[in-house]
Structure 1
Amino acid sequence: MKSNPHFSHHELQEYVHSVFGHDYHAAEQTRIQGGAQKVIYKVNFTNGFSCLLYIWDISSNYFQDELLKESTFQNSYGSSLFSMNTVFLRNHGIMTPALYDMRNGRNGFEFDFALVEYIEGHSAESYFQHHDTPDKHALFQEIGNMVSRMHAIEREHYGKANDYKIKELTCFKLKQDDAINALFYASKHIAMIKENHDHLLHKLAQLESRIQPRARHHFIHDELGPNHIIIDHKMQPYLIDIEGAGFFDLEHEHSFLKLRFGEYYRYFKKENLDSARLSFYRLCHHLSLASGGLKLLHRHFPDRQFARNLAAYHAGQAIEMLSHNRD
């Protein structure tokens, strides 16, 4: 993985001058740790302004092998998706940081890049630790309302906002294929997954067989954890890491929300969700996260303990689903 800055100070200065004008002088660029697919730098200016520099560099992506081999994985990576979803969400009143400039024609570089609004604030996850107060309740209600407004955007076919093609496979069949690949990878490295490989494969097929096709799909974030919502100083929530957003089964998002928000899922809870889809996608998430944690670990992700814990926890949860019906 690339460790040196993608831009020299001179290159960065030329870029920001072309976007903001010659009154803006970059003082420093600091890499923000944690991203697995794109690189993010915070850029501070001498006039007190700050913004983010996003870099889509395949050589810095911890899942580059999947991007090159698995077509469905490409649906959650890339500058074009980021640009399109930023416009789509903001046009529908869903707050996400403003896109100041996008360069995805390479422009002499081997990666795409953009300047994005810096939201001064904290992730929704940090508010889990706050005492229960009316302000905290109001915040999570607003987060729930924002997500509900996004989910209310619907159409007949699944896919990206600009993709209206009718697909041969249903969206849940695509996720079943991804889950089978994740199971195969995890079974090579986790003993209890290897021992239960056939049982998990059967469980996945059993849960998928209970799903009835449908003709309505909703706009979802696709990986909406509390770390993907930033709260500014006015307590306004913003969605981030939006490349994977698109039209899909609503239950895919809700099963993930339930995993990631725990007791705070009550702010998202929705009636009339399909229990068969919830169970199926839950198992898909566990297998994907177990495999994903392993891949981060094997590919030298900086927070190795996080990667190790992620793989172990979701492997255990997948095994638990063999003996319990969990929606």
Structure 2
Amino acid sequence: MRQVLGSGYVVQHVTRMHGGAQKVVYKIECAGGFVCVLYVWDLSNNYFQEEIENDDPNERSYGGDLFERNNRHLASQGIRTPALYDMYRERTARYPYDYALVEYVGGPKAEAYLRHPDVWTRDRVFGALGEMLSRMHADERAVYCKLDRLGLGEHAEACHLRRLDSVKPQLVYAAAHLDRIGVYHHQLLDRLHALASRIAPRSRYGFIHGELGPDHVLVNESLEPYLIDIEGAAFFDIEHEHSFLEFRFGEDYRYLRHDSLDPDRMAFYRFCHHLSLTAGGLKLLHRGFPDQIFARGLADHHARRALRYIGAEAE
């Protein structure tokens, strides 16, 4: 704090903020009332460490370098996200991980405003979020990739096929650990391929957050939304984002809706999300995530939703 902000910023309280599965977050309160946030990307505290270590570097969505790059890009596009004060990426023996000091946005997450009884408040929050997302998704490129891969050439396969390849291991994991998925493993896999086969080629991709639920949006005292957990942002099919927004925001998705989405891509990505979140919930459950009730509920809910795609009733 002294090195970045000066000797006048004396730390009084440090509080760990809960909820993250991929990085550790602390609230730092200083004498005089200044507050900021510390992000720590310590892989040993990541519930998806195994996947990150085995991931294709092109698919990585974890780390301070991606956060820094995406933070600056979003800010340059007028998309609100907490300001980055300083990034530490030296990775010394004492601190073998990335960490950053970031602006503290006082206020709740957007989930506090879902189905809010005051229509004006709801219009203000989700209307502003809808405008931000429209602007972000209109930021297009002719290739799909993370910002750090721009200029390195095009992928040989369509982006939905890349997603198809990434979701298959999630289905395998879910089938191995959840009996009702295991019973229908082959039917679910066939349905996944059938949905992918309907998708026509595309050559333009919008900039998306990648996992934008109401828990990844902070709302300040002026009811202005800020995007957080932005490491996975990339140029990709915007249907990947909208199919996620659709079930995460429920009836308030009407504020975020886009008029020209491809229905075949929407159906495919919805199914992919349900399979991935089934496996993701199970992994959190198996790896000691503190909120075990949430983890179990996540896996159960999305398993049921996935089975509906093949007309199977979940028990």
Q: How high is the TM-score relative to the length of structure 2?
A: 0.96
Q: CA shift at 1:174, angstroms?
A: 1.3
Aligned letter for 1:49? F
Structure 2: how far apart are the matches of 1:72 and 1:322?
33
Structure 1: how far apart are the matches of 2:144 and 2:310?
29
Q: Provide the secondary structure at the position in 1 that maps to 2:278.
A: helix
Report the counterpart of residue 105 of structure 1 in structure 2.
90
Structure 2: how far apart are the matches of 1:262 and 1:72?
33
Count of equivalent residues: 309
- Distance change in 2, residues 1:28/1:73 (3 Å): farther
The within-5 A match list for 1:1-327 is 16-71=1-56, 74-107=59-92, 108-164=94-150, 165-323=153-311
C-alpha contact 1:217 1:247 (8 A) present in aligned 2: yes
Q: Provide the secondary structure at the position in 1 that maps to 2:60.
A: helix
Point out where structure 2 has 5 or more consecutive residues left out of the alignment: none
Aligned letter for 1:259? F
Q: Provide the secondary structure at the position in 2 that maps to 1:162.
A: helix
Structure 1: how far apart are the matches of 2:303 and 2:129?
29
Report the counterpart of residue 9 of structure 1 in structure 2.
none
Aligned letter for 1:35? G
- Distance change in 2, residues 1:240/1:40 (3 Å): same
Q: CA shift at 1:308, angstroms?
A: 0.2
Structure 1: how far apart are the matches of 2:116 and 2:264?
35
Q: Provide the secondary structure at the position in 1 that maps to 2:232.
A: coil
Q: Provide the secondary structure at the position in 1 that maps to 2:16.
A: strand
Structure 1: how far apart are the matches of 2:51 and 2:176?
17
Q: Which range is displaced more, 84-93 or 163-172?
A: 163-172
C-alpha contact 2:115 2:252 (8 A) present in aligned 1: no
Structure 2: how far apart are the matches of 1:129 and 1:148?
21
Structure 2: how far apart are the matches of 1:73 and 1:242?
16
Deviation string 1:55-75 (CA, Å, 9 cap, x unpaired) is 000100000000111226852
C-alpha contact 1:67 1:74 (8 A) present in aligned 2: no
Structure 2: how far apart are the matches of 1:162 and 1:93?
20
Structure 1: how far apart are the matches of 2:59 and 2:201?
24
- Distance change in 2, residues 1:308/1:124 (3 Å): same
Aligned letter for 2:194? Q
Report the counterpart of residue 8 of structure 1 in structure 2.
none
Q: CA RMSD in A?
A: 1.3
Structure 2: how far apart are the matches of 1:135 and 1:272?
27
Structure 2: how far apart are the matches of 1:73 and 1:62?
20
Q: Which range is displaced more, 159-168 or 51-60?
A: 159-168
Aligned letter for 1:23? G
Deviation string 1:294-326 (CA, Å, 9 cap, x unpaired) is 0000000000000000000000100001139xx
Q: Provide the secondary structure at the position in 2 that maps to 1:106.
A: coil
Q: CA shift at 1:162, angstroms?
A: 3.3
C-alpha contact 2:24 2:41 (8 A) present in aligned 1: yes
Q: Which range is displaced more, 132-141 or 78-87?
A: 132-141
- Runs of 4+ displaced beyond 4 Å: none
Q: Provide the secondary structure at the position in 2 that maps to 1:113.
A: strand
C-alpha contact 1:55 1:112 (8 A) present in aligned 2: yes
Structure 1: how far apart are the matches of 2:59 and 2:25?
19
Deviation string 1:135-173 (CA, Å, 9 cap, x unpaired) is 321221111111111111001000012322211222111
Deviation string 1:14-41 (CA, Å, 9 cap, x unpaired) is xx10001001111121111110000000
Q: Provide the secondary structure at the position in 2 that maps to 1:219.
A: strand
Structure 2: how far apart are the matches of 1:310 and 1:162?
32
Q: Which range is displaced more, 90-99 or 315-324?
A: 315-324
Q: CA shift at 1:264, angstroms?
A: 0.7
Structure 1: how far apart are the matches of 2:244 and 2:296?
20
C-alpha contact 2:115 2:251 (8 A) present in aligned 1: no
Q: Which range is displaced more, 64-73 or 307-316?
A: 64-73
Q: How high is the TM-score relative to the length of structure 1?
A: 0.92
Q: CA shift at 1:225, angstroms?
A: 0.3
Deviation string 1:174-209 (CA, Å, 9 cap, x unpaired) is 111121110000001111100100000000000000
Q: Which range is displaced more, 49-58 or 128-137?
A: 128-137
Q: CA shift at 1:129, angstroms?
A: 4.8
